[in-house]
Structure 1
Amino acid sequence: MGRLLSSLLILGLIVSGCAPRGNNSPASVRDTWAPPEGQIRQVGDYEVIEGATKNDGLEVKFDKGTKSMSLTGPMTLKTYDTKKTIQLELNLAGTSDDKGYAVLKPVGSTGVVDLVVAAKATCLGVESDCSSNFVDIYVSYEDRIYHHQIEALEDTLAMPMEPKEADAANIDEDTTETGGQSQSDESGDDDHEDEHDEVLDMDETEGSYVGNVEKDLENILEVKPKPKAGTPNKEEPKKDQPKKEDPKKEVPAKPEKKPEVPPKKETPVKPEVPPKKEEPKKDIPKKDEPKKDVPKKDEPKKEEPKKEEPKKETPKVDDKDDDKDETPVVSAPPKFDMLSKLDQAVGPTGTVRLKNGTVVSGSLEHATDILSYQKAYPDTNFRVLRPDRKTYYGTIELAYLIAKMGKFTQAVVPSHTLRLGDLAKKKGGPLGSHKSHRNGLDADIAYYFKADKAMTGFSTALKGNKPIGDWMMAQQWKLFKYTVSSKFVDRIFIHPALKKSLCSYAQNQGEIGTDLAKETLRRLIPEVNHYNHFHLRIKCAKSQERCFQMAEPKAGTGC
């Protein structure tokens, strides 16, 4: 009996120690990225100051039973204009709703005259669970608005994983992948395993959540945007003018004089019209006479454009990256507009270990089925290589960009399709040995080769750490420029040797100094494991409020 009681006691301690947080216990809190000093950021019509506040020990508590949440602790504010240092003791509370948000308002006074503070917590858990969340804190003081963002995260290692069937299927494919491939892609077909040791260009924890600052300021902090200098004086008269239209109603007494004017204008108008029509008639024959002389010189002109026009059609799509030529190719993608405001990407793109040891992973909700889109609209010219892996899900923005890239591929290399490897699982989360691909923002895509070979997988673009001749470097460069010009791209991971070649190519083409070339090279991140495919990662869209956006790549081309 004694042993039984001891066993039960130990079991109880183990269960309680592994139990997920949520019974009003404080979460591990850390700041998301902010500038080192106060900087003004334009958010819609609002001027918001970032980096002027400091977290001095804030705590976030959430009770799963009552869904109540609290934010307490000290925070320092350094005013932007007067440079005053104000010590705040926050005590905010609220309750999360069914949509996964909790508005937190002060409990009692803030202790500072004319200072207003409020916050909004955004839940990051499944089914609006707020055990993990991020909190946007807003302070209004001295006609200025300050913003501070923290995240309170639960260790995802203590939480159950995604559906076991899906994970088991992926694990099996990860371990037996080569044997399941066709003979056409035996070289370099481990497109997801080769990212096991992926090295990023910076700390993946550097960044912040998208949120909805503009809407929060209006509805939660309840402040109006500060009018810009000079605009109020112009806006007021605009509204006053219609009011002054009332006295204009007295003018209708003068219509008697107005009718006198039209008859005077009508008489000259009639005689003026015929001479104008007679003049062009005389002008036309004048132009006809020189036209008879011109054909003598038109004949040599016709000799020049004989077959040069079709040659000009090729640079249209590529060399100068004109949006005018490329836009009609992918204009109005079917049904994308209906899904333009989905909130799908949750958390970071990968599994991140914070400094305090907490491990968090991104996830995906209401995923876009990109394979179904491919089947419904084959003219988009992209193909999921391994549909049996069921890793063809992503955000609506990723699907849209892939469709545009597929169309562009068709224009640049008509014999090719855009071949896709892993994107994400339906609910995101860990995917095989990938370090990322968690929240629907990542896609593995095959390089261009002269011999398409109708491959079912990826092939290496390197031999002896140098690009092979079969790799279509010029067309690949055009695709990268086109993709980056869409403004969707966060990063594109490629092998260092391939980036070095693209740097040389851009230099030789005289493009290295152009804005698009510099921005493209900046976002091409060298990574040794991407020799047989490139890894596209897009930015968090404004509609993806729960998405964690990494800090921007370092400045410069990296060449």
Structure 2
Amino acid sequence: MKRVIEGMAIIALMLCSGAVTASPWESVEAPSRGSSESIGSYSNGCLAGAQSLPLAGDGYQVMRSYRGRYYGHPDMIQFLTDLSQKANKLALGQLLVGDIAMPRGGRFSSGHASHQTGLDADIWLKVVDKPLSDDELIDVQPLPMVHLKQYKINKKNWGESQVLMIQLAAADERVARIFVHPVIKEQLCAREWTERDWLRKVRPWWGHYYHFHVRLNCPEGDSSCKEQAEPPEGDGCGAELASWKPKPKSEQKPKKKVVKAKKKVPPPPPAQCLVLLEGSGKKDG
């Protein structure tokens, strides 16, 4: 316990001083042995006993595998496998799976605030009819579904396959949330659905204009996993969604002088995570 406390103090000191530019979790090469467990919260946690998603399977491929971000809780691995098989049967196209988590989860130095417990995964909205080559998978280019400046859907790229892919994922009871760009949420809300309960899980969030982010519920029995509060009641298609739309320039308030805020220091990870990191056998350098 003393070593854990000392480890937490050292990490906190390095973060405060700005001495850390890379997350120590990024140098971990392999999952821990033993049973699987998601620990902590989606944005401050880690993952014990991770499983790796095979780089290719029935109806999916993992992109940019050299980054080593294709590890997840077994629930996530099973979810992605199930989703790709369902999508394949419906001829929705090949799933392109992006980042899930690192071998023991944990914090990224940049790019993600969440994806720390193996319960988050990015799935691109780019639809391909056949598997990509190894060279193509290394540097796949995103296909934007939204004209960002105009705040409108890109009709050339957005279609039925994308709509049904999100609906198929959100309808799964294992899913807690799906994050998409507000314009994509608008498109989903505008359709007439026989069953609309799943729309509650689809949450607007900036940046998700070429992929959707799936977040699973805490696995049953993982007592150290912290659930996120449930989304507000309803389908989220009314005033809540409208509040995301940028106001016309004539209605915008004059910008105040921006005072550069101090860099926020992330909270220390749960003690269980520090134990997991300590025994990880990190890469040299």
Give TM-score scaled by structure 2 length: 0.67
Q: 1:502 to 1:552 in 2, by over 3 A?
A: same
Report Cα offsets for 1:13-43 as digits up to 9, x if no partner.
Answer: xxxxxxxxx5xxxxxxxxxxxxxxxxxxxxx
* 2:146 aligned partner: 462
Q: Secondary structure at the match of 1:534?
A: strand
Work out which of the residue numbers 12, 15, 28 in structure 2 matches 1:157: 12
Amino acid aligned to 1:460: P
* 2:278 aligned partner: none
Q: 1:369 to 1:397 in 2, by over 3 A?
A: same
CA distance in 1, matches of 2:131, 2:145: 14
* 2:49 aligned partner: 366
Q: Secondary structure at the match of 1:549?
A: coil
Q: 1:448 to 1:154 in 2, by over 3 A?
A: same
Alignment map for 1:177-196 (pairs within 5 Å): none
1:492 aligns to 2:178 (yes or no): yes
Amino acid aligned to 2:40: G
CA distance in 2, matches of 1:158, 1:396: 34
Which runs of 5 or more residues in structure 2 are unaligned? 16-22, 238-285
Give TM-score scaled by structure 1 length: 0.35
Q: 1:451 to 1:465 in 2, by over 3 A?
A: farther
* 2:230 aligned partner: 552
Identity %: 26
CA distance in 2, matches of 1:552, 1:545: 18
Amino acid aligned to 2:51: T
CA distance in 2, matches of 1:546, 1:400: 21
Amino acid aligned to 2:75: E
Work out which of the residue numbers 321, 327, 346 in structure 1 matches 2:39: 346
1:425 aligns to 2:102 (yes or no): yes
CA distance in 1, matches of 2:76, 2:113: 18
Structure with larger RCO (C-alpha < 8 A, sep 6+): 2
* 1:475 aligned partner: 161
Q: 1:553 to 1:430 in 2, by over 3 A?
A: same
Q: 1:523 to 1:472 in 2, by over 3 A?
A: same
Give, in angstroms, the shift of residue 411 of structure 1: 1.9
CA distance in 2, matches of 1:154, 1:405: 42
Q: 1:164 to 1:473 in 2, by over 3 A?
A: closer
Instruction: Give 1 or 2: higher helix fraction.
Output: 1
How many positions carry a matched residue from both structures? Answer: 216
Work out which of the residue numbers 186, 189, 202 in structure 2 matches 1:524: 202
Alignment map for 1:313-392 (pairs within 5 Å): 342-350=35-43, 361-370=44-53, 373-375=54-56, 378=57, 380-392=58-70
* 1:403 aligned partner: 81
Which runs of 5 or more residues in structure 1 are unaligned? 1-21, 23-63, 66-128, 132-152, 168-340, 351-360
On the 8 A contact 1:458/1:532 being kept in 2, the answer is yes
CA distance in 2, matches of 1:556, 1:504: 15
Q: 1:470 to 1:157 in 2, by over 3 A?
A: farther
Q: 1:442 to 1:457 in 2, by over 3 A?
A: farther
Report Cα offsets for 1:343-366 as digits up to 9, x if no partner.
Answer: 32110111xxxxxxxxxx211111
On the 8 A contact 2:96/2:126 being kept in 1, the answer is no
Q: Secondary structure at the match of 2:122?
A: strand
On the 8 A contact 1:419/1:445 being kept in 2, the answer is yes
CA distance in 1, matches of 2:177, 2:126: 19
Instruction: Give 1 or 2: higher strand fraction.
Output: 1
* 2:116 aligned partner: 438
